[in-house]
Structure 1
Amino acid sequence: MGTTNEKILSLRNVTMDYGGKRVLNGVNLEVSKGQIIGYIGPNGAGKSTTVKIMLGLIDNYRGEVEIFGQDIASGDPSYKRKIGYVPENAEAYDNLTASEYLIFTAELYGMNRAHAEDKATKLMKEFELGDVIHTRLSSFSKGMKQKVLIISSLLHDPDLLFLDEPLSGLDANSMMVIQEILLQLAAQGKTIFYSSHIMDLVEKISNRIVLLVKGEIVADGSFKELQEMSEEGTLAEIFNQLTGFTEHKNRAEKFVSIVQEEQAHA
């Protein structure tokens, strides 16, 4: 299956002001079925705002947003049942057990309780969390919580997945497993919107990279296409060039020189 020309997501001239400041400035984006979009940009570029608009969490934007061919401003929330979301800083309900939390979120998506419980248990075991299914989330490490959030975003088998720093706190093996899961989901026609600061991961798994700077898209293409519009090699270097950040060496040198300053002898 993989990528087709079927349009899953469309943003037309999306503009958003927040507290008198322009956060998004005329964003235009069309996403086809089966694409893995690496959505990157400096802090404050408007990445999370874009995602929250598409999820229907922010509604005072201008422009048009269509998901699965439906204008999300129409007020019909049914499109949300086919969406999964891993937020960057999820305040998971710490007093719930992992099982309770997963069943609760699955029921919000309209899943049958018994089916949700069965599926959640199987997925927890696959993520090596089988022995803590009935343990409260408050005792989980950041990586364990992250795995639960990833399961909760996939439990209802969504067609469109939004991931905001999804690998935060995970060990190297888990990161590899999740990368492979995302590639296999995309190959089956799922569409994945992936936002991260870890450039080499974005470079590895995305078949399209969208770079947002100060609320505007400044680059949109495959990694190869981005390389061609820049003199740089890795995505991290291209990112620095296109965002105008060339200060890292100077800053590092200053920082290290301060670290190495010797105490003046009296």
Structure 2
Amino acid sequence: MIRVESLVKKYGPKTAVDGISFHVDDGEIYGLLGPNGSGKSTTMKILAGILRPTSGKVVVNGIDAARNPLEVKKIVGYVPETPVLYESLTPSELFNFVGSIRGIPKETLEERVKRLVKAFGIEEYLEQFIGTLSFGTQQKVSIITALLHEPAVLVLDESMNGLDPKSARILRELLLEFKREGKSIVFSTHVLQLAEMVCDKIGLIYRGKLIAEGTIEELKERAHEENLEDVFLKLTESKDEVFAIVQALRETL
């Protein structure tokens, strides 16, 4: 379970996250949605124990993320928006390195690596330097790395970026399987149709504030819209702007 209370993160005079609160139950997929620069990635880094909040509290499975970030890292699998990997290592070397840090027994690690590498189809890249791999393949390596220790909590920041349709479907099915296993998942994506398919609850963050939260049906009812895309645009005050831009483009064609 994840509990976020009055979370604030400032970078000098700039407030990136401004007093947001939400919770994610066991066996729940929580979609954190918002425009670029809204504070999603900052929030997720705090959930993963990577950043310290300026104020407020984040509790992950009973552990205070600010007081015990190392303990939080032990139980969280985190996939950043852009892969952050050791480019001079091969995926095989990276998996072994992470396995040693995580204290995963050798045979267990080998079995997990074999299963995940096959699922995401990167067998042919295992002995190539990570820095030479495509963005999509690096993203797969990043996802596999985050799953090796079978985390109780998943924090996935735009983890579908760069994935081919097959791999995106596999990750989607894995998320649903993790949900059935009772894991807590925080998931951000700009693919709103995907959010509709997998998320139990949505939190919409805009300019650092949580401006709406609820099930997809609750948000549709609140915004008087029929799909999540229109809900998103309306609540972030973008819908009229989008229509005006489209109309202007039509007039120039």
Tell me if TM exceeds 0.5: yes
- What's 2:79 paired with? 86
Match of 2:242 in 1: 248
Out of 178, 189, 203, the position equivalent to 1:196 is 189
Q: What is the aligned partner in structure 2 of residue 74 from structure 1? A: 67
| Structure 1 consecutive aligned stretches of length 4 or more whose deviation exceeds 6 Å | none
Match of 2:220 among 209, 220, 227: 227
Look up the SS of the partner of 1:153 in the other structure. helix
Alignment partner of 1:209 is 2:163: no
The alpha-carbon distance between structure 1 residues 93 and 223, as it changes in their structure 2 partners (threshold 3 A), is: same
Question: How many Å apart are 1:43 and its aligned residue?
Answer: 1.3
Contact kept, 8 Å, 1:121 with 1:133, in 2: the verdict is no
SS of 1:96's equivalent in the other structure is coil
Q: Deviations over 1:91-144 (max 9, x none)?
A: 322221111112222322222344323421332122222222222222322222
- Deviation per residue, 1:204-235 (Å, 9 max, x gap): 11011111111111111111111110121111
RMSD between aligned residues: 1.7
2:11 counterpart (13, 18, 42): 18
**What stretches of structure 1 of length at least 5 have no aligned partner?**
1-7, 261-266
Decide which structure has the larger Cα Rg and report it: 1
Match of 1:145 among 133, 138, 143: 138
1:182 to 160, 175, 185: 175
Give the counterpart of 1:54 among 47, 50, 64. 47
Cα distance change of structure 1 residues 250 and 125 upon mapping to structure 2, 3 Å threshold? same
Shifted more, 79-88 versus 14-23: the winner is 14-23
Aligned to 2:2: 9
Q: 1:59 Cα deviation (Å)?
A: 1.5
Task: Report the Cα distance in structure 2 between the residues aligned to 1:138 and 1:104, rounded to whole angstroms.
Answer: 17
Unpaired runs of at least 5, structure 2: none
Provide the TM-score with structure 2 as the length reference. 0.93
1:64 aligns with 2:57: yes
TM-score normalised to structure 1 length = 0.89
Give the deviation of 1:76 after TM superposition.
5.9
Match status 1:168 vs 2:161: yes
Structure 1 contact 36–194 (Cα < 8 Å) conserved: yes
